[in-house]
Amino acid sequence: MQGLPSDTAAEAVDSQQVVQWYDDHCMRTYRRLPVVFVRGEGCYLWDAEGRRYLDLVSGGRAGNALGHGNPKVAEAVSKQIATLPYLSNDFYHYFQGRLAAELAETTNCKRAFFVNSGAEANETAIKLARKWAHQVRGIEKPEIITFFDSFHGRTLGALTATGQPKYQRGFEPLPEGFRYVPFNDAKALEEAITPSTAAVMLEPILGESGIKPAAPEFMQAVRRLCDQNNILLILDEVQTGFGRTGRFWAYEHYGIQPDILTNAKTLGGGLPIGVCLATEEVASAFGPGDHGCTFGGNPICCAAALASLEYVRENNLVENAERVGDILRRRLEEMAVRTQAVAEIRGMGLMIGVDLVRPVAQQAVLKGLEHGLVLTASSEVTLRLLPALVFGETHATEAAWALQNVIYEVGGAP
């Protein structure tokens, strides 16, 4: 093997060799795009052949929303890795404490439990809701109501909360205690509530399923039904939280508050960290020994999250998400008028779903690479745009024109 295994200098990467290693030795769970990236800066990525791409998906799946190579996160992480990267939760350190305190400033959910991913944040939420239901309401078999087309993660609890049989098939037996109703249907929710219902869990905007926002009346009805029946409202803001929608938390658009709140994707500025936040009353159902996570809340990821938070504040990125999100939508709407290839544009802030008239979304993703555009599709017709929170007006214009060319080339225009 040439060089060190960790040698990632762009000139040292043979992209065919890289793809071969994946093909030979990585499990076949992902449909990867045929590109090997070696470097990023802000909203751009470069492949092993030196080509530049405009990244419309924050590194893919919205996992790094502060721009590639963010200087503030880089500095915090470099400093931390050289001094104290890891400590377990048997000890105190500055970064977890400070991060919990900073997050408490943003929400009514004042207590935090830190994990490494969105799925784990939701597992924590599920366990906390169950513990609360046993303790406070004396429910023997607590049930959580979730929604069809939701996405809450791939671990068994989160997978069962996910109301999509296609992800669950083949992994039975699934844990008990979940029930599903149609999204944006308050009447169906009301009818599904029983004395065993402990919680309702939902995304304010269905992310994985194509960026479908909850209707305001629906979200308010969910909160009201929860209040009337002493049921917890769990908001999965793994994708929508931390500024993405033009508010720090997406629930702020709806004039309601959750009892439990989860986040992960944007939190660590590209590092793996997730959090389950809960109100004081609900969080008190957890006591010592009730839950744990070896890497949860470690100094390096918390330092990265603190740097992210500071970067978001210093650069007004929540406002930027709203402003540039509006501009991007406008550019896409203009493109839609020119091409007649778009059926619908949905979303909030920098979370935008584009439904094409023709089922060419997957081809558009592939063709996008040829045009220097990194896209994802959530179905045959839906493109899912999740650019970094540092996305600017010129990026929005560049994206819309490039997407227009892509759509014409894949025969997306009628």
Ligand X SMILES: *Cc1c(COP(=O)(O)O)cnc(C)c1O
When asked if residue 238 is in the footprint of ligand X (CB under 6 A), the reply is yes
When asked if residue 241 is in the footprint of ligand X (CB under 6 A), the reply is no
Which structure tokens are listed for 371? 């045009």
- Is 147 a catalytic site residue? no
Which of these segments, 6-14, 37-45, 97-105, 231-239, binds ligand X (CB under 6 A)? 231-239
Q: Which of 330, 362, 323 is nearest to 345 (CA)?
A: 330
The residue from 131, 212, 265, 367 that is catalytic is 265
| Alpha-carbon separation of residue 301 from 101, 116, 222, 361 (angstroms) | 15, 9, 34, 35
- Is 14 a catalytic site residue? no
The residue from 236, 242, 259, 367 that is catalytic is 236
- Is 91 a catalytic site residue? no
Structural contact between residues 218 and 184, judged by C-beta atoms closer than 8 angstroms: yes
Q: What is the rounded CA–CA span in Å between residue 170 and residue 161?
A: 16
CA dihedral 264, 266, 272, 275 (to 10 degrees): -30
When asked if residue 322 is in the footprint of ligand X (CB under 6 A), the reply is no
When asked if residue 251 is in the footprint of ligand X (CB under 6 A), the reply is no
Site string for ligand X, 264-293 (x = CB under 6 A): x-----------------------------
Q: 341 or 374, CB closer to ligand X?
A: 374
Structural contact between residues 320 and 349, judged by C-beta atoms closer than 8 angstroms: no
When asked if residue 183 is in the footprint of ligand X (CB under 6 A), the reply is no
Query: Which residues are CB-neighbours of 353 under 8 A, at least 6 positions away?
Result: 210, 211, 212, 344, 345, 346, 347, 378, 382, 383, 384, 385
Q: Which of 67, 142, 153, 204 binds ligand X (CB under 6 A)?
A: 153
Q: Which of 388, 313, 396, 395 is nearest to 65 (CA)?
A: 388
The residue from 151, 183, 242, 286 that is catalytic is 151
When asked if residue 207 is in the footprint of ligand X (CB under 6 A), the reply is yes
Phi, psi dihedral angles at 37 (to 5 degrees): -90, 145
By CB under 6 A, the residues from 103 to 142 that bind ligand X are 117-119, 122
Nearest distance from C-beta of residue 280 to ligand X, angstroms: 24
Read off the amino acid at residue 202: L
Q: Which residues are catalytic?
A: 151, 236, 265
- Binding positions for ligand X, rule: CB under 6 A: 117-119, 122, 151-153, 203, 207-208, 236, 238-239, 264
